[in-house]
Structure 1
Amino acid sequence: MLSFRLRLSDTHSSGWRWDTDRWVLGESWIRPAHATVLNAELELGHGSSACVLVREDKDGESDHTSLLVRTGQIQVSSGVFGTAPLYLVSVAEDLYGSWDLTDLRPHLRPDRLTPRAVARTLSRRHRYSADTLFEGVHRLTERATATFTTTGLTIHYPEPAQHVLEPRTLRAGVDPVGTFDALLTEVVAEWRPAASCIGVEVSGGADSSNVALSTAAADFGSVHTFGLLMGGRIGRLQQARRRELVERLGLRDTSVPAMQHPPFVPGGVRECRVPHDPAGAFYQEAFDVVRQQVAARDCEVIFTGGGGDEINAHHSRTHAVLPAAAPVPWLGEKAIEALDQVDENLAPISVLPVPTLMAFGLHNPAYLKLGIWPVAPLVHPRMVRFMEQLPHELKQGKAMFRNRLRRAGLPESVAAPTEPENFLAVMESGLRSYGLPLLDGMLRESLLVDLGYVDPVALARAREHAEHAPVVPDLLCDTLALEVGLRSLA
């Protein structure tokens, strides 16, 4: 939500002033993210102290980032929502920070990586942590605080968030669908005073369809829907579901054919080597097109269905066991050694679901670059707590979500599709057409091979197998995306 360069010697002075798009003092500057629904304030304290607060300008509980400057000390804290990441790096007496990793490019060394972070990325054992791929670059996780002084930068994790450990029994006469309907619409409507034009990501699935229902009920002035359309029969069924929903709700829809924008497609961010986060999402090329459409319609906020899977999951807060990860045959010795460390330095239990927070870091900065603020209403803290208390049978198969769609008059094909959409065919197309040629180049010259994270002999075998296999192993996408992303920052 903000970017900055802060020099410790400047903390002894006062006189912050606004200049174009930032506050400046000496060699230091603080720039709030450019989004109309964010409110940024600088408050001067005693002596040289100053506090900057950037928060969502809406009713109810909001996301925020705070920055406190005292003599000889800089402190940065984050809120519970984690909508946008904040990356930090210290160099001598300077502290740099940004929600956009590429802003820190002068300090990113692709040849100096964090082994356990690389191992997590290559093996899909993703973890929520202050670790990033780059040595010396830290992520400020939800509710965490970073402190910078002459002794260096330290990250302080918060206490684990409190959660409902077991579902509760519903009282007689309680209507959970009606309660869910009212609560989700209330969460969405908090944005009504802040944004005049709203976008909604609509895939045609139960999560985004429920968000769209509440957005329509909240009576915004202008609502547009956007989404990726998959190919083939699944895509035709998806298109029919989306059409049924937007016509029923009277929304204006824009769709993007995902098959035209698969991973590594010519003209996309990866093929053009545009500097980007190496851990970016598989669907980045396709969603870049969607985001341009959202911006073209002047949407200030985009609602997403993010977190729907997580809040419907059946799990134990006290005996959670992560599923076993698929083996990656081409891991190099350095990555294999680091696999033993993937569960080190983890952030404590968060308020929002961890997979959702991690997805925010991949998906949301590209919206923020366009001045659009992304919001996932399904994982608002009130929604999370409500869903945790529900009996499992109401969440199994997203039963309550689907019943709400039925109650709204939507057909069974929308409420419970027999062939839901997924991105696998698009990924396969990108890997087959554009990924394998990139892999050939990686076999000739590779950062990951040179650093010992990838075994070139095993990777060559995987390349040979992929050429003749009916489906290219999708794990190759992780390795290729990481290699290309690191090179974009070199």
Structure 2
Amino acid sequence: MLTLCITPYRDGIWRWTGDRYATADDGSRIEPYRHPMVEHLAVDDGRRCLIVVRERVADRPVCDPSVRHITAAAYDEAHAALADWPADYVAVETIRDEPTRVAAGPCRTTPLYLAHDAVSLYGSWDMADLRSHARQINVREAARLLLYRPRYSHDTLFEGIHRLTERSTAHFGGHLYLRYPEPALHTGPHELAPGADVLGAFVQALDDALDLRPLDAPRTVFHLTGGFDSGTAATRAAQRHPGQLNTAALLISGPGRAQQVRRRKAMRAAVPFGARDDVVDAAVEVPLQPGCARVRGEPVSPYEEPLHRPFTVVATRIAEHGAHTVVTGLGGDEMVALSQAEHPHRASGRMEDADGLPWIGHRVGE
């Protein structure tokens, strides 16, 4: 959602230049990603400056990006109001003679990676932008990825590059300190009240999430994989916007391919989607072919492998057809997964699972 380079402890005055926020004296800059679903704003009280890049919500005009000069009390109110924003945001706060703070909201849908040198903090939504700061492989994170057991944390595959997770705050004043949020509250399953409309509540939750965003149906594509998560979101949206929502997908290889084809066909036949369905075959757009970014020597984030090439083709086709927004589904399995206390089961990603993975060596278990 943004890129940044900030040198703290300077008295530079932030200004909006037309495509970025910048200071004249030290070269600090914050460049929002230009997209119809993103907006940005800034307030300054003479000592503090708060710059927010956020996901837009429906029924609100786009913010004026110019830096507004306000009183200290109004600044405090604006800062407190961040907690009420219902969509994704990143807030950057610079304070005279204090470390810079970068905070992420709770509705995290976009990435932000951070790195630093002795004087400046760097950040980008694209990890490849920070490749000069990567010192060496983070062995623990590499082991997790090799064992198919990733963790959502500040760690990335490279020492020197960090991930700003939801509700986290980064403090930088020459050294980078990342603070995790307080643990989220959890609850166990409850008995349903008599006559509870579970399906109705679920549909309402979907509608609320869709209505929150200013989706332009003709320029929105639904990522219809054939799975339950994306399928549920897409079919409900198609019911509400009949004939307007086109679809796209990456066709996988292997034993699930026939099932994916069958399920996607059934979903598109069940509700009135748009006429266009952009499908890219992963068995054709394979890695390391002449058009692949890897072959051309371009940097590729390890979190986008091995499907970087086919997904790039999907995104290119969607953009060529005039769409600028893709909606997908993610996380359904995690949301309804039972804990060990609710249902004892064998954890995934154990070292015993490595027997069938020929790339796993002895260091993964150490």
Tell me the TM-score normalised to structure 1 length: 0.62
Q: Give the C-alpha shift of residue 143 in structure 1.
A: 0.6
2:302 is aligned, of 272, 278, 283, to 278
Mapping of 1:18-37 within 5 angstroms? 18-25=16-23, 26=25, 27-37=27-37
Q: Is the CA contact 1:79–1:143 (under 8 Å) kept in the aligned structure 2?
A: yes
1:92 aligns with 2:90: no
SS of 2:304 mapped into structure 1: coil
1:157 aligns with 2:156: no
Q: Partner residue of 1:267?
A: 291
C-alpha distance in 2 between matches for 1:321 and 1:148? 41
Q: Give the C-alpha shift of residue 170 in structure 1.
A: 1.2
Q: Is the CA contact 2:102–2:171 (under 8 Å) kept in the aligned structure 1?
A: yes
Q: Partner residue of 2:57?
A: 58
Could you list the per-position Cα deviations for residues 251-273 of structure 1 after superposition, in whole angstroms to 9, with x for gaps in the alignment? 23222222112344442233333
C-alpha distance in 2 between matches for 1:63 and 1:317? 32
Q: Give the C-alpha shift of residue 203 in structure 1.
A: 1.6
Letter in 2 for 1:254: D
Mapping of 1:36-435 within 5 angstroms? 36-47=36-47, 49-59=48-58, 61-72=86-97, 73-109=99-135, 112-150=136-174, 152-164=175-187, 166-192=188-214, 197-219=219-241, 222-230=244-252, 235-247=257-269, 248-252=271-275, 253-316=277-340, 322-323=347-348, 324-325=350-351, 326-327=353-354, 331=360, 335-336=363-364, 339-340=365-366
Gaps of at least 5 residues in structure 1 are: 341-490
Q: Give the C-alpha shift of residue 70 in structure 1.
A: 0.8
Report the more deviating stretch, 258-267 or 16-25.
Answer: 258-267
SS of 1:259 mapped into structure 2: coil
Letter in 2 for 1:101: M
Could you list the per-position Cα deviations for residues 353-408 of structure 1 after superposition, in whole angstroms to 9, with x for gaps in the alignment? xxxxxxxxxxxxxxxxxxxxxxxxxxxxxxxxxxxxxxxxxxxxxxxxxxxxxxxx
SS of 1:285 mapped into structure 2: helix
1:103 to 1:46, Cα distance in 2 relative to 1, 3 A: same
Q: Partner residue of 1:404?
A: none
Q: Which has the higher helix share?
A: 1
Tell me the TM-score normalised to structure 2 length: 0.81
C-alpha distance in 1 between matches for 2:39 and 2:315? 22
C-alpha distance in 2 between matches for 1:261 and 1:83? 27
Q: Is the CA contact 1:58–1:193 (under 8 Å) kept in the aligned structure 2?
A: no
Q: Is the CA contact 1:197–1:220 (under 8 Å) kept in the aligned structure 2?
A: no
Q: Partner residue of 2:65?
A: none
SS of 1:52 mapped into structure 2: strand
Q: Give the C-alpha shift of residue 236 in structure 1.
A: 4.9
Q: Give the C-alpha shift of residue 219 in structure 1.
A: 3.0
Letter in 2 for 1:154: Y
C-alpha distance in 2 between matches for 1:18 and 1:177? 47
Letter in 2 for 1:289: V
Gaps of at least 5 residues in structure 2 are: 59-84
Q: CA RMSD in A?
A: 2.7
Q: Is the CA contact 2:116–2:133 (under 8 Å) kept in the aligned structure 1?
A: no
Could you list the per-position Cα deviations for residues 90-124 of structure 1 after superposition, in whole angstroms to 9, with x for gaps in the alignment? 11111111111111122223xx2322222222333
The sequence identity of aligned pairs, in percent, is 33
Corresponding pairs, count? 330
Q: Give the C-alpha shift of residue 138 in structure 1.
A: 1.5
Pick 1 or 2: higher relative contact order, CA cutoff 8 A, min separation 6.
1
Letter in 1 for 2:52: L
Q: Is the CA contact 1:201–1:303 (under 8 Å) kept in the aligned structure 2?
A: yes
Could you list the per-position Cα deviations for residues 431-453 of structure 1 after superposition, in whole angstroms to 9, with x for gaps in the alignment? xxxxxxxxxxxxxxxxxxxxxxx
Letter in 1 for 2:208: E
